[in-house]
Structures are given as structure tokens and as C-alpha cells.
Structure 1
């Protein structure tokens, strides 16, 4: 049987083109940083290994090899070259975040409504026996929710990553404790029926998680740039 695409899933597919462009742009920036900054500073530093302060390395032969192997300068060189793949990985990670932000920015409200309703429906369908609610987290896997919502949201990787991010960030145990506390002071809903209090809490928490995802973050990149500059400075001091 062929799956009929809903207008919402088609809209997400169109948004995917912009998300893909954002991903490609971030990866390109990561590759550029790897080649120009990572590779550039590495070769500049390697050129200094035969400079001042490395008299043993200029001696030639086994003495030069021993001097390099026992020198902290070699460790600095190894760490500097490790920044080349690190910048590529940061570019890929940033690209994924930017791609997901495009989807969230365009469809965040609809995603929040559908995902919170799906989670609430699974919890409401659970038996109310003691201890059953504590096992709700085991029944709410990202894959199961993605499969359930596939007819409405589609099966794109971006949607599955968003669902996985929300499920990982969702404090289910705290939400269930709050829900139990509210149910003790109100008329409890029957099993399998919609509980407005639960759905309101889930809608708020899912919305908060999606907003956090949509917030731009360059923290890891700035940390990498700072560490790279510090390491290069240490290398310059070692080869002065």
C-alpha cells in the first residue's frame, strides 16, 4: 500500500530543502575551518620545529628523532593536527542543529501539538495500577512515537531527530509526579480518556524543548577556537 502524504508532511518536505541547504552550509564552514585554520596552524607550527629552541632536532640522525620524541613540542603538534577532524565534526553537528531549527521554526506549533497529544494518548491508555505510571518512560520510545506520527508528520530524518530530542529532554518522571499530585485534588479521568491537565503540562514541556532546539548555539565552536589558540600559543612558547 502506498502512503498518502498529508499537506503537513508535504510542507515539512518543502522545509527540508532549506534545512538541507543550512546543513550543507555549516558543513562547508567546518571543512573550511579544518583546512585553513586547523591545517594552516599545524603547518606553521611544524615549520618552527627546526627553529630556535629545537637544537636537538637540528642535529640530524637518531639524535634529532630522540629529541623530537621526548619533546612536548611533538605532543603539541599531534594535538594541533587533531583540530582538523574536530572542526569538520563541529560543522556537521552545527549543520544538524541548523537543519532542525529550520523545521522547528516553520512547524514548531504543529509539531508541539501533535507530539504532546501522542505522548499524552500513550500515557492515558496505560493502566492506573500502582507502579504503572513509573514505567511510562519505557513505553514512550522515540521510534514508537515517530512511527505513530508518521501518517501526519512524514518519515523524514529531521522529524525523527526532533522527536528523539524532545523525548530525551522531556522530564517524564517529574511530569508524572505533578500529574499525580493534581489528580489527587481533582476528579481523576478514566483510563483511556483524555486528561486536560496532563495534556496541558505535556504541551508546555514539549514546546519548551522545541524552543530550546530552535535557539542558536555556537558554544562548542567558541570553546574549540579558544582551545586551539591556547594550544598554538603554548607551541610558540615551546619553540621560541
Structure 2
């Protein structure tokens, strides 16, 4: 993962680029929804008077009844559903693309800062099994965002990446691994008024696992869109077979 400057302006520029990438993907989804989704639906509706729908050609109540009780209406409804589907695919692709851009530009810095923030929370807690297992419940995007803000800022892109990490990070598994490594290292009492010492091993473990989690933010795949295209074409083919 590349390591770039992590100053606030750099993060701001990355946030703007991520926002632009998200907006472009959403616009593409909207265009596909209205041009392709709406166009295919309109084309199919014009074919409902074809040879496969003789009652529809009769006009009047017979046509209405024929459409209501025939598979052609179901096909038309499903074709109409592709309009919001293309929008959802565009939004999902744009969100993933924006997160990938932030992680690619500042993944190393975010891994380190988030590791420090999470480790400081863990180190401040009693090292009992029950307390440590509740650490994930006590961590929030707002808490971590405020702790990394001096280095990374509080932009929406940063918050989105933090939320992704909290959702995907196997914190319980990591705490179990850390506790096992410390099994033969009993806690040393800390004198009153002295801060607890930091644990470099915990920070290293968190940094490594957070970096692995951010590596999952690869470039978004176009596969969902291609699947939507294929399903759309197949459904149109079935509909035309029914009405012709």
C-alpha cells in the first residue's frame, strides 16, 4: 500500500477526488437507469400488442384482463425494477471506488493512527477477558475519528474508511491472539499517577491487521454491472418470446 504525505491538505484533496469518483459513478448509474432501464421498459411495452398477446390486441377490458393475468405483466414489472437496480449498482460502485482511493493514498498513515487509537482504548481497560471482549462495543466511528483528526482530518472519506475498518476488523480474534501471546507475561502494577506503559506488540498487531483490512478495499469490480446487463437482456428476451 503506498505511503504518501498525510497532511491535512493532502487528505482534503484525496477527499475531493474520492467525492468526484463517487459522483461520477452515481451519474453513470442514473444514466443507465433512465436510458437503458427506461428505454428497454418502453420498448417492451410497445411490443405487448404482438402475436403472443392476442387479447391485448382486442383492446378494452379484454386487453387489461389479459395483461393482469399473464406473465407479460410480471416481465414488465421486473424490467421496470432494473431502473433502481442500475442506480443501486452505481452507488455501490462509487462508494467502493471512493474508499479505495482514500485507502490507496493514505492507507499506511490510517493503519498506524487507527492502531494507536484502538490500542490506547484497550490499554486503558482492565485486562480481564470479559472487559476486553466488550472493546468492540465501546469503539465508535466518532471516537476514532476524533482521535485521528489531528493527523487525518474529519472528512467524510476518512469517516467512511474508519467505518469500513470497524465493520471488517476481527477485533475479538485479535484480542484473543494478543492475550495468548501475553499469557506468560503477567501485568506489572503501575504506580499511582503514572500512565500505563504502551504495548508495542499490540500496536504492531493492530497495524498489521488494519492494513490487511484496508487491502480488501481493492479497485471496485464491474462484475455486478455485467451481471445486471446479462440478466436484463435475458429478461427482455423472455418477454419478447412471450409477446411475439
* TM-score normalised over the length of structure 2: 0.89
Cα deviations by residue, 1:99-132 (Å, 9 ceiling, x for unpaired): 2211111111111111111111111111113411
1:31 corresponds in structure 2 to: 30
Name which of 183, 194, 197 aligns with 1:193. Answer: 197
Three-state SS of the structure 2 residue aligned to 1:128 is coil
Unaligned runs of 5+ in 2: 191-195
Aligned-residue offset at 1:59: 1.0
Indicate whether 1:237 and 2:241 are aligned.
yes
1:122 corresponds in structure 2 to: 121
2:230 corresponds in structure 1 to: 226
Aligned-residue offset at 1:173: 0.8
1:80 corresponds in structure 2 to: 79
Cα deviations by residue, 1:54-95 (Å, 9 ceiling, x for unpaired): 001111111111000001111110111111122122212211
Conserved 8 A contact 1:125-1:193: no
Check 1:114–1:36 CA distance in 2 against 1; reply closer, same or farther (3 A cut).
same
Greater displacement, 127-136 / 219-228? 219-228
Alpha-carbon distance between aligned partners in 1 of 2:131 and 2:211, rounded to the nearest angstrom: 26
Aligned-residue offset at 1:187: 5.5
Conserved 8 A contact 1:53-1:238: yes
Alpha-carbon distance between aligned partners in 2 of 1:177 and 1:190, rounded to the nearest angstrom: 22
Q: Which stretches of structure 1, 4 residues or more, deviate above 6 A after TM superposition?
A: none
2:193 corresponds in structure 1 to: none
2:67 corresponds in structure 1 to: 68
1:112 corresponds in structure 2 to: 111
Alpha-carbon distance between aligned partners in 1 of 2:73 and 2:29, rounded to the nearest angstrom: 25
Three-state SS of the structure 2 residue aligned to 1:216 is coil
Aligned-residue offset at 1:188: 4.8
Greater displacement, 34-43 / 169-178? 34-43
Alpha-carbon distance between aligned partners in 2 of 1:81 and 1:128, rounded to the nearest angstrom: 56
Unaligned runs of 5+ in 1: 1-5
Check 1:124–1:54 CA distance in 2 against 1; reply closer, same or farther (3 A cut).
same
Aligned residues: 235
Conserved 8 A contact 2:145-2:159: yes
RMSD of Structure 2 on Structure 1 (CA): 1.9
